[in-house]
């Protein structure tokens, strides 16, 4: 029962995506669209369409144009409105600000009403502006403020501070990450989260899963997903960014250490548990086995931590993304291992203990903590079985005969529920003694 619930929780989170548009839309979507529309309305090229969709289309156009200009900046700004850049280079402001004037009222018009791509032809600089320097300045100031407040880029402090180049890389990554994350709800949690904090955690790129995420979703996909994103006005990933954060939890026994960066947790493990020199950044990757990423709801950070571990496997989403975690799963419990400081062999052992089938990957971390009473290696069941078979049926059991006492551990059925039967271990599915949660 309980387990079921736990299982569903993460689901609920996912489904939230479906619902989200209702609540979250107002703020997020609007912001986005605004950003989009502004960007092109400002366009130095005096570009065209005005609808949301077209807006997006234009959005891309910008990207192209921009890249020509800013090869060095890596096209980071391509996803943002040009306004930002222009603002940074104060000199350009005047060049485009007038253009903006007319766009101001007009740009908001939904494109359908203005089918002509030449909408911007109205753009001809407003006359009233030129003459009055003061008014002009005021308007400009207002404009700048507006843009500042709407441009997603500006929202990030680091970007403006360090200049286009520095911010460039980071943003490119984070942007691509967040955009690509929209491809599937499953992915959205990790990548997008990372893009939020102004201090991006380096480990992200180190993680094979993540890097795959980033690299595989290169420009092409980004464009595509991005478009669908805007087309369907799906602000979800962004929304989630705000409330969810990826944390790294030390899985070493009796260690509840949770850090926000993988490098941090790795260092922690290196120094505290592996007894290595903390100063040296040397890492053989072994630390990977001792921590797991957890998605934490920032709203309920503290309790989230306690919940995440012992509950549902679905929390971590599809296993493939998280090869490491698969190991994590098996590790901790059996990990009540030899508590020697240099249990170098521990991780590998643990990782190999499991003889389960590949599809069982998802179950990972959860069970580790929740089932503390595991005391026998997996073979336990098989051993006893063969025993009874080979010797003689009578020797093993007292009264009940062959039936072995029921284990206290929750079995797959209980943990995953009938709905997720495909997550059960094979034995459970076959109605045999559970191999995953042995007692």
Binding residues vs DNA (CB under 7 A): 381, 385, 388, 393, 399-407, 410-414, 426-434, 439
Tell the smallest beta-carbon distance from residue 215 to DNA (Å). Answer: 34
Closer residue to DNA in complex, CB, 108/432? 432
Instruction: Decide whether 3 or 111 has the Cβ nearer to DNA.
Output: 3
Of 395 and 400, the one with the shorter C-beta distance to DNA is: 400
Question: Which of 330, 333, 403, 313 is closest to 375 using CA atoms?
Answer: 333
Cβ proximity to DNA, 123 vs 427, nearer residue: 427
With respect to DNA, which residue has the nearer C-beta, 253 or 414? Answer: 414
Three-state secondary structure call for residue 231: helix
Could you tell me the smallest distance in angstroms from the CB atom of residue 401 to DNA?
6
Contacts of 194 (CB under 8 A, 6+ apart): 174, 177, 200, 201, 204, 210, 246
Shortest separation between residue 32's beta carbon and DNA, angstroms:
44
Place of tokens 């200049």: 163
CB of 199: closest distance to DNA in angstroms?
44
- Residue 431 Cβ vs DNA, minimum distance, rounded to whole Å: 3
The DSSP letter of residue 404 is P
Helices 185-195, 2-24: inter-axial angle, 10-degree rounding: 70
Cβ 297 vs Cβ 305: under 8 Å: no
Query: Measured from the CB of residue 321, what is the shortest distance to DNA in angstroms?
Result: 25
User: What burial class does residue 307 get, using C-beta atoms within 10 Å of its C-beta: 0-12 exposed, 13-18 middle, 19+ buried?
Assistant: middle
Q: What is the token pair recorded at 354?
A: 């499991």
Burial per residue of 125-144, b for 16 or more beta-carbon CB atoms within 10 angstroms, e otherwise = ebeebeeeeeebeebbeebb
Q: Judged by CB, which is closer to DNA: 53, or 385?
A: 385
Angle, vertex CA 195, rays to CA 194 and CA 201, nearest 5:
50
């Amino acid at each position: 029962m309980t387990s079921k619930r736990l299982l569903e929780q993460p689901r609920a989170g996912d489904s939230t995506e479906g619902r989200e548009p209702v609540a979250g839309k107002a703020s997020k979507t609007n912001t986005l669209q605004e950003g989009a529309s502004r960007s092109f309305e400002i366009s130095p090229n005096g570009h065209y369409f005005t609808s949301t969709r077209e807006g997006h289309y234009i959005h891309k156009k910008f990207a192209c144009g921009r890249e020509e200009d800013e090869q060095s900046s890596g096209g980071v700004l391509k996803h943002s409105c040009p306004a930002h850049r222009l603002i940074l280079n104060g000199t350009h402001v005047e060049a485009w600000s007038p253009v903006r004037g007319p766009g101001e009222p007009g740009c908001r018009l939904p494109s359908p009403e203005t089918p002509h791509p030449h909408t911007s032809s109205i753009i001809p600089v407003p006359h009233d502006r030129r003459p009055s320097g003061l008014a002009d300045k005021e308007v400009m100031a207002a404009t700048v403020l507006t843009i500042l407040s709407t441009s997603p880029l500006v929202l990030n402090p680091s970007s403006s501070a360090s200049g286009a180049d520095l911010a460039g890389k980071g943003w490119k990554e984070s942007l691509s990450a967040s955009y690509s994350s929209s491809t599937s709800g499953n992915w959205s949690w990790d990548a997008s989260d990372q893009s939020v904090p102004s201090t991006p955690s380096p480990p992200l790129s180190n993680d094979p899963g993540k890097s795959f995420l980033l690299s595989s979703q290169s420009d092409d996909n980004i464009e595509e997903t991005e478009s669908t994103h805007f087309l369907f006005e799906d602000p979800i990933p962004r929304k989630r960014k705000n409330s969810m954060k990826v944390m790294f939890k030390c899985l070493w026994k009796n260690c509840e250490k949770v850090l926000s960066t993988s490098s941090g947790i790795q260092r922690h493990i290196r120094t505290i548990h592996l007894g290595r020199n903390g100063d040296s950044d040397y890492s053989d990757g072994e630390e990977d086995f001792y921590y797991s990423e957890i998605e934490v709801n920032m709203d309920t950070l503290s309790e989230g931590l306690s919940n995440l571990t012992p509950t549902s496997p679905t929390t971590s989403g599809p296993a493939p993304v998280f090869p490491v975690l698969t190991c994590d799963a098996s590790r901790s419990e059996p990990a009540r291992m030899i508590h020697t400081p240099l249990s170098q062999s521990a991780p590998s052992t643990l990782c190999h203990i499991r003889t389960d089938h590949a599809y069982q990957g998802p179950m990972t971390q959860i069970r580790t903590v929740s089932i503390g009473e595991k005391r026998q290696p997996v073979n336990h069941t098989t051993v006893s079985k063969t025993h009874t078979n080979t010797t003689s049926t009578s020797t093993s059991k007292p009264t009940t005969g062959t039936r072995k006492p029921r284990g206290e551990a929750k079995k797959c059925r209980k943990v995953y529920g009938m709905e997720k039967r495909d997550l059960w271990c094979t034995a459970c599915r076959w109605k045999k003694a559970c191999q995953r949660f042995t007692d």
